[in-house]
Amino acid sequence: MEGNRTQLTEFVLRGITDRPELQVPLFLVFFFIYVTTMVGNLGLIFLIWKDPHLHTPMYLFLGNLAFTDACSSSSVTPKILMKFLNKNDMISLGECFSQFYFFCTSATAECLLLVAMAYDRYVAICNPLLYLVVMSNRLCVQFISVSYLIGLLHSMLHVGLLFRLTFCSSNIIDHFYCDVLPLYAISCTDPSINALIIFIFAIFIQVSTFMSIIVSYIRVLFAILKTKSKKGRSKAFSTCSAHLASVSLFYGTLFVIYVLSGSDKENYQGKMYSLFYTIIIPLLNPFIYSLRNKEVLDALRKLAK
């Protein structure tokens, strides 16, 4: 019977909402978010490249974080805007797999870059005299290269496993982008192996990197508490709390979707969680990591003169 099934090659993305009266307002909102995201992230990359004072490990990592955020947003948002604008909700099998591949690569690389940034802050605050020795250019390039390499291999694994699935009954993906979990829901092939691999790698990548970040920041906070300057402590706590809020929101929503996906969540709730790590976090990160940073603000003022 399996051999007589017709493999579907085009899918319909349900999108965020089917209500026609919301299409234009939502298009304007998401267009504004996308433009702001791209200007914020690409502008930050340009600023870091332009100002020699920002050619340090911290800003090298921050520039690459901005790049992954721009890629994450660009892999998802344009398709959402097309659906709002002209009702173009069709996506081919190849486009679907490609969309997930680029998003998964960016999100995985971002997890690892956040670890590198947390380690960089730990060394800078807890071992300032050894900072330039420990955070050498070679180590920074290795951190960044490994982040992208693991991102590419991780997404390649999941997309490769998608090719074992067949889609022969429903072609409606109840999501606003081609995520793997909604694809499993409409597969005519048992996706248990795929789901198990997703779960294992989500646990390994998300939990291990999140715990590494938390441990680094805890050690940073203990070091800050030992400083005598109240102003310095207040500024450091403010910066760390903003960073941890962004990291927690990013990891929390990823964890809910990919680790707790077996729980009985309503579809719209899944979409709302997904909006955070695909669209909201890439929008917020350049402002969280740069607008509280005096060196970035100084570089921006110099560029504006």
Termini Cα distance of the chain: 71
Q: Is 304 within the bounds of a domain?
A: no
In 3D space, the residue among 88, 89, 85, 90 whose CA is nearest the CA of residue 23 turns out to be 85
- Quick check: is 29 in a domain? yes
Tell me the whole-structure pTM to 2 decimals. 0.90
Query: Given this model, what pLDDT does residue 115 score?
Result: 94
287 assigned to some structural domain: yes
117 within a domain of the structure (yes/no):
yes
What Å distances lie between residue 211 and 161, 204, 267, CA to CA?
Answer: 28, 11, 29
Q: Does the pLDDT at position 303 exceed 80? A: no
- Summarize pLDDT for 47-91 with one digit per residue, the tens: 999 888 888 898 999 999 999 999 999 999 999 998 888 766 788
Whether 2 shows a pLDDT value over 80: the answer reads no
Our count of domains for the chain comes to: 1
Q: How sure is the predictor about 264, in pLDDT bands with cuts at 50, 70 and 90?
A: very low
Residue type, 72: S
Determine the Cα–Cα distance for residues 278 and 7; give it in Å rounded to an integer: 29
> What pLDDT is stored for residue 246 in this prediction?
82
Q: Report how far residue 72's alpha carbon sits from residue 67's, in angstroms, rounded to the nearest whole number.
A: 9
Would the CA dihedral through 180, 183, 184, 185 be positive or negative?
A: positive
* CATH, residue 141: 1.20.1070.10
Report yes or no on 1 lying in a domain: no
Domain of residue 78: give its range.
Answer: 9-293
